[in-house]
């Protein structure tokens, strides 16, 4: 009989955490009965549930909605008032229902029940995420293994306020760098498990590209991703072709900024099933982020056999160690970007091809789905800690 695994945290419909939850669920679904519980609003369209039609999934809002006819009635009233923008359960905590119910107590009861029904918990959270402390304390009382999969960059903490983290069985980090960010402040057991590419077989099937100055950006169009700075770089580099794919709060500004620049094209958002269509025409991926914990797109580029020019963010230096793909820049210093660009331009065709092959081989050795799957199994079944 399979053990029951609870995946817990502020899971939404699409974002880095939702991709992470999906990777974990896909990795462990053959060996565990998976339940996903979100502390915030999400729907069955969530990326976390992609290719997992039989996985049990719910949220605090859905559980509260089911708990009371009174709550359902007023939630539905607010659903109509808000012109059906979200599902009815999105409106459970309205002014009327709040005056009758203690929702924090109800949520704590949901956490208690979900942990009681599980054998092991993985929380995909940041240390400051809501309900993490509550969930850890409940798990500790019930003596249930509780792993924290960190999402995002670990920042400075006040150790005395986060002493509850010591109740965790251990932490799962993307990179050694992020682990050290936390362990300099609180020494806690951890393992390193990175991600794997979406649709990796399609990406691995792409041929290694010829050297050509066609560059790509794939990701969210938001300030922390450095997309506007990257566009400005290419406004000063008309001989280089930049292809941009993604959406986000800066989408309109991106469209306005690239007007009149024939070497910069916006492709819209790439569907996860069609990532190979984005990578096929480019030779080099650019990661201009100010901060990251991964990013996942770096692994997708490695699987595709593309070179990478990147800021020194997240797990990228660890991922590319030993590949000869040493093209780093600082997002706030244009000259460092052009130095990396010049280094790529100066590569002989054979060296370009060798680095591209190195990136793919590194992916196959460390990051393909089967490797990530085995690391998660080892972590939970053998209680791996350093």
> Model confidence over 14-56: pLDDT tens digits?
888 999 999 999 999 999 999 999 999 999 999 999 999 889 9
Give the Cα separation of 3 and 380 in Å (integer). Answer: 11
Cα-to-chain-centroid distance, residue 255:
25
* Residue 92 tokens, joined: 């459970």
Helix (H, G, I), strand (E, B) or coil at 354: helix
Instruction: Name which residue leads in pLDDT, 290 or 384.
Output: 290
Residue from 268, 211, 266, 264 nearest 236 by CA: 264
CATH code of the domain occupying 200-366 = 3.40.50.2000
Cα-to-chain-centroid distance, residue 128:
17
Residue from 276, 215, 353, 288 nearest 361 by CA: 353
- Within 10 A of 243 (CB to CB), how many other CB atoms are there? 18
Contact 5, 32 (CB under 8 A): yes
pTM score, whole prediction: 0.91
- Name the DSSP letter for residue 211: P
At 385 the pLDDT is 44
Helix (H, G, I), strand (E, B) or coil at 345: helix
pLDDT band at 325 (very low <50, low <70, confident <90, very high): very high
Contact 379, 172 (CB under 8 A): yes
Give the Cα separation of 355 and 200 in Å (integer). Answer: 19
Mean pLDDT score of the chain: 94
Residue 36, phi then psi, degrees to nearest 5: -115, 125
Give the Cα separation of 310 and 316 in Å (integer). Answer: 8
**Span 347-362, average pLDDT:** 97
For residue 14, CA distances in Å to 19, 46, 75, 269 come to 7, 6, 24, 13
- The full set of domain ranges for the chain reads 3-196+369-382, 200-366
Give the Cα separation of 215 and 36 in Å (integer). Answer: 37
Which residues fall within 8 angstroms of residue 257, CB to CB, at 6 or more apart? 228, 231, 232
Cα-to-chain-centroid distance, residue 316:
14
Domains 3-196+369-382 and 200-366 share a fold: yes
Give the Cα separation of 86 and 82 in Å (integer). Answer: 8
Give the Cα separation of 287 and 280 in Å (integer). Answer: 17
pLDDT band at 386 (very low <50, low <70, confident <90, very high): very low
Give the Cα separation of 207 and 280 in Å (integer). Answer: 8
* Residue 374 tokens, joined: 């085995």
Residue from 128, 140, 138, 68 nearest 103 by CA: 68
Residue 100, phi then psi, degrees to nearest 5: -110, -25
Residue from 112, 115, 8 nearest 57 by CA: 8
Least confident of 114-123, 269-278, 305-314: 269-278
* Residue 257 tokens, joined: 């900024």
Q: Is the dihedral of CA 176, 171, 50, 246 positive or negative?
A: negative
Q: Give the DSSP H or E segment for 148.
A: strand 146-150
CATH 3.40.50.920, applies to 3-196+369-382: no
On the question of pLDDT at 139 being above 80, the answer is yes
Contact 24, 376 (CB under 8 A): yes
**What share of the chain has pLDDT > 90, as a percent?**
88
């Amino acid at each position: 009989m399979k053990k029951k695994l609870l995946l817990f945290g502020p899971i939404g419909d699409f974002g880095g955490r939702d991709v992470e939850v999906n990777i974990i669920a896909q990795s462990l679904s053959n060996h565990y009965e998976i339940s996903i519980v979100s502390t915030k609003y999400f729907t069955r369209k969530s990326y976390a549930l992609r290719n997992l039609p039989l996985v049990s999934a719910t949220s605090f809002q859905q559980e509260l909605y089911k708990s009371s006819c009174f709550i359902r009635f007023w939630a539905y009233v607010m659903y109509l008032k808000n012109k059906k923008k979200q599902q009815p359960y999105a409106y459970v905590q309205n002014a009327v229902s709040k005056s009758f119910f203690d929702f924090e107590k109800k949520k704590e009861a949901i956490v208690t029940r979900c942990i009681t029904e599980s054998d092991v918990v993985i929380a995909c959270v940041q240390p400051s995420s809501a309900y993490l402390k509550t969930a850890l304390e409940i798990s500790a009382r019930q003596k249930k293994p509780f792993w924290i999969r960190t999402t995002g960059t670990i920042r400075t903490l006040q150790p005395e306020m986060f002493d509850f983290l010591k109740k965790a069985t251990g932490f799962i980090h993307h990179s050694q760098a992020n682990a050290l960010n936390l362990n300099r402040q609180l020494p806690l057991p951890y393992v390193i498990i990175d991600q794997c590419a979406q649709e990796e077989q399609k990406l691995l099937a792409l041929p290694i590209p010829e050297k050509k100055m066609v560059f790509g950006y794939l990701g969210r169009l938001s300030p922390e991703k450095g997309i506007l700075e990257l566009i400005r770089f290419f406004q000063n580099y008309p001989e280089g072709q930049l292809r941009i794919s993604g959406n986000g709060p800066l989408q309109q500004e991106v469209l306005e900024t690239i007007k009149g620049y024939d070497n910069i094209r916006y492709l819209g958002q790439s569907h996860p099933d069609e990532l190979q269509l984005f990578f096929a025409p480019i030779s080099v991926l650019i990661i201009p982020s100010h901060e990251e914990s991964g990013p996942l797109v770096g692994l997708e580029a490695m699987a595709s056999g593309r070179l990478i020019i990147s800021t020194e963010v997240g797990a990228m230096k660890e991922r590319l160690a030993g590949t000869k793909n040493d093209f780093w820049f600082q997002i706030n210093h244009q000259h460092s970007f052009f130095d990396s660009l010049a280094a790529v331009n100066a590569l002989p065709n054979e060296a370009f091809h060798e680095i591209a092959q190195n990136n793919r081989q590194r992916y196959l050795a460390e990051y393909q789905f089967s490797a990530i799957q085995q690391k998660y199994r080892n972590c939970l079944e053998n209680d791996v800690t350093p």
